[in-house]
Structure 1
Amino acid sequence: MVELIRKIFDDHDLFPFSLAYKSTKSSQSELPDHFHDWYEIVFVYRGSGTFFVDHTFYDMKQGDLFLIPGNTIHRATPDKETPVTSSAIYFSPAMLQAAQFGDGFSYLQSFEQASALRGYKLATLPHHAQQLAQIFESIQYELLHAIPGYRQAIYLHLLQLLLYVQRDVAATEARTPHVDTLVVPQWMREILLYMDQHYCENISLTTLSKRAAVSPAHFSRAFKQLIGMNFTAYILTKRIIRAKQLLQESDASVQTIAEMCGFESLPHFHAMFKRMLGLTPAAVRKSV
């Protein structure tokens, strides 16, 4: 059973945008490990917790900004005593297919850099945090009042936010590659990196536990506790996400892509792909 969730947003063909404003969540109300096609921006107002993104753990604290590209595994775990209060923006990248003006700028540039550097967290300065909070508040105001033109206003605020993040926040703040303050065993950090580099290969529990120098039972318990899902579901999800990317970006056959992503049979690939994404490989390729 695949434990990871693919979050599906309401079908807003004309306005693919959603905002969760200043919500304080407990561990029980947070989604388990999940991914979605839309891009996500998370801004932390107060509290503390842990954020697992891609294959890295981050701590969460006041002023932190997280940029999560589409189809990236992630999960927030709020602290029990001081849970995180945050706002999250979700949007389809299709919203940003605006005219190019020849200066080489892209509104998704910060997300592209996050993917390339494998660093998804920015720790903001106080004046950056104040400006970001104001933009989120302006978007919430437009959503609540829904005055004619509010969607256009929200769209402009989103562009302002992305422009500000790229030109001001990301330009001055170093991305956080990892967090040593979190109680995560070094062998787990190393094994997650190894899995990230070899998930399309034949990886077994025995192989991983030997590499981590722990027993298979301990490996399974620790992985489930820290990641929130078992290692087979984690690997399967990464394979499906990679297969989807190849279907959209290459002309390779479905059979070839299935083999490249570590699936031993085409029927199994089709079944897992449809089960996880709700679409067939052919349907994903046709949608490009």
Structure 2
Amino acid sequence: MRDVDTQRARNVLNAALSNIRVDDITIPVHYWGLEEAHFSNISHKHSFFEVCYVIHGRGFYIEKGSKFQLNDGSLFISRPNIIHQIVSESGLTLAFVAFEVPPQENLNSWVARWQNMFDIEDVVIHGDRKPVSNTVWDALIRTASLPTFEQETLHALSTTLLISLVTSFRPMETPTHDHFPSHKNPVLERALHFIRDNLSSPLLLNDVAAYLNVSGRHLSRLFSENTGMSYKAYLQLERIILARQLLIESEHPIKEIAELSGFSSIHYFTRVFTQMSNFTPAAYRKMYHS
């Protein structure tokens, strides 16, 4: 969106659209966001819904130990009180909106469907599925960036956006999580599986490359081109994801979890985990078991 004044659009959206009316219900909006370079953030949670639209860039969305690829056009949702994180080394051009779902006693047909979004499994929709919400996002952002605009147009587009989110995110009987890039490279595919299955091992770049019968340079390039991350960064992220899962789902001592996740010492594990999660391993476990 090179021709869009992102700062003006963000300011206008936040000034004009703090509440959105759908039928006879008002939806409180906490904030609108529009960032041209959104990099990795810490693990965190909200008490409200936040829906993000990747206008451009590559990265990952992490939720409850699962990692989802983000590419141009990806749409993803963070639900209330669920710890999540966005990871991107190259930066994402990102639009997002945070809103409340009205209380149960105020339900109408649309709000009832928003309530169903608490139970969705498919939290990331890839751009190749062309979610209708993305088209509405583009129109809303462009309208908000214009020197002059009709207030009614902004309200109509924002209402349409919230309604379109209901049809974009639907509960699915069978999860279809896609942990890999849409266009899979066979060598990279094998590398990702090998890494995930052997995280307790050192997994040096050249050793994994030799297993795959490619050069270390070639494997390094495959990671940077297909995941937007270096091999080292991707491996460290996978180790932390496994550690989070073990902290939540197992009773293993933290020292053993560090070893199972491939960290050479509990001190190094604690330092890296705290940097990437903003919690010590013990505090992270306590959040889920308190």
Give the alignment's TM-score, normalised by structure 1.
0.58
Secondary structure at the residue paired with 1:41?
strand
* 2:102 corresponds to 1:94: yes
Pair member with larger Rg = 2
Q: Any conservation in 1 of the 2:54–2:95 contact (CA below 8 Å)?
A: yes
DSSP 3-state at the match of 1:106: helix
Q: State the partner residue of 1:16.
A: 28
Aligned residue number for residue 242 of structure 1:
none
Distance change >3 Å, CA 174–CA 146, structure 1 → 2: farther
Aligned pairs for 1:145-160 (under 5 A) are: 145=149, 147=151, 151=155, 154-160=158-164
SS at match of 1:93: coil
- Shift, 1:228, TM fit: 4.5
- Describe the superposition over 1:97-141 as per-residue Cα deviations: whole angstroms up to 9, x where unpaired: 54249xxx7234344122xxxx53222326x15x33221134446
Q: Does 1:205 align with 2:268?
A: no
Matches within 5 A, 1:87-236: 87-94=95-102, 97-100=106-109, 106-114=113-121, 120-125=123-128, 128-129=130-131, 131-140=132-141, 145=149, 147=151, 151=155, 154-166=158-170, 174-177=176-179, 180=192, 183-184=234-235, 187-198=239-250, 204-212=253-261, 214=263, 215-236=265-286
Contact 1:25 1:78 in 2 (8 A): no
Aligned residue-pair number: 212
| Equivalent residues of 1:142, 1:154 under 8 A apart | no
In the aligned structure 2, how far is the partner of 1:234 from the partner of 1:147?
A: 45
CA contact (8 A) 1:138 1:157 kept: no
Q: How many Å apart are 1:44 and its aligned residue?
A: 1.0
Q: Against the structure 1 CA distance between its residues 74 and 20, is the aligned structure 2 distance closer, same or farther, given a 3 Å change threshold?
A: same
CA contact (8 A) 2:27 2:101 kept: no
User: Aligned partners of 1:190, 1:78: CA distance in 2, in Å?
Assistant: 19
Alpha-carbon separation, structure 2, partners of 1:184 and 1:16: 40
- Structure 2 length normalisation: TM-score? 0.57
Give % identity: 13
Q: Retained in 1: the 8 A contact 2:70–2:126?
A: no
1:74 aligns to what?
84
Measured after TM superposition, the shift of residue 155 of structure 1 is 2.9
Segments of structure 2 that go 5 or more residues without pairing to the other structure are 1-13, 20-25, 182-191, 193-226
Offset of 1:233 from its aligned partner? 3.3
Supply the distance in 2 between the matched residues of 1:74 and 1:36 (Cα, whole angstroms): 9
Q: CA separation in 2, counterparts of 1:32 and 1:187? A: 16
| 1:191–1:32 CA distance, 2 compared to 1 (3 A) | closer
Corresponding residue for residue 25 of structure 1: 37
